[in-house]
Amino acid sequence: MKNGFAAMLLSASLSLAPGAHAQHRTFTVNPGSSQVAFALGGSGHHVQGTFHVQSGSIDFDPGAATMSGSVVVAAGSGNSGDKGRDKKMDSDVLEVDRFAEISFMPKSYQGTLAPAGDSALQVSGIFTLHGAPHDITVPMQVHIEGSNLTAKGHLIVPYVQWGLKDPSVFILKVAKAVDIDLSLAGTVSPAN
């Protein structure tokens, strides 16, 4: 009887092990289907544009609400539709020769990540801009459909407070914070 119980317990634990391991998943970002949009208000004008997502891979564990990995944006890829303004942003504000990448490294999240369909999460992690790390929490809307995953989030970056140059000149004043809309798309698979 004891051996039967032990065999049943071992069988149950082995059958649960693959399910527990399968909770760990990896989201691989498709740079061609992802982008970072920005909007910067100012006196008499409003600047909008995009940055190119260079790469991204995030491992997550729905059972523990933990994440690791990063999403990397090419700092010099900013495009506002005005080459002169973009050149000034690259050289004077972002200093892309010294700080070529902007990154977000998620660490944890709050909320329930559904295995399929829509989820609303608060993702906390480290946002590195101009070489300096900053703790942030980003509200994210995640949608999983089969092996496809999309994640959208909005954050406000107080770039002047974080030590970047204020590009305002004379009567042309711009906001001291920039609105960022993150739109990521890619595939999700069991983590290695």
Asked whether the predicted pLDDT for residue 45 surpasses 90, the reply is: no
Return the number of other C-beta atoms located less than 10 Å from residue 11's C-beta: 10
Q: Which residue has the higher pLDDT, 45 or 160?
A: 160
Asked if 159 contacts 177 with a C-beta cutoff of 8 angstroms, the reply is yes
> What local confidence, expressed as pLDDT, does residue 10 receive?
35
> What local confidence, expressed as pLDDT, does residue 101 receive?
96
Tokens of 39: 């909007």
- The 3-state DSSP class for residue 102 equals strand
Mean pLDDT of the chain: 87
Q: Model confidence over 13-25: pLDDT tens digits?
A: 333 333 344 478 9
Asked if 31 contacts 52 with a C-beta cutoff of 8 angstroms, the reply is yes
> What local confidence, expressed as pLDDT, does residue 171 receive?
74
Rounded distance, CA 183 to CA 12, Å?
Answer: 41
pTM: 0.83
Angle formed at CA 125 by CA 139 and CA 92, multiple of 5 degrees: 95
* pLDDT bracket for residue 192 (50, 70, 90): low
Q: What percent of the chain has pLDDT over 70?
A: 87
Q: Model confidence over 94-117: pLDDT tens digits?
A: 999 999 999 999 999 999 999 899
Rounded distance, CA 31 to CA 117, Å?
Answer: 22
Architecture field, domain 23-190: Beta Barrel (2.40)
Map out the domains of the chain as residue ranges: 23-190
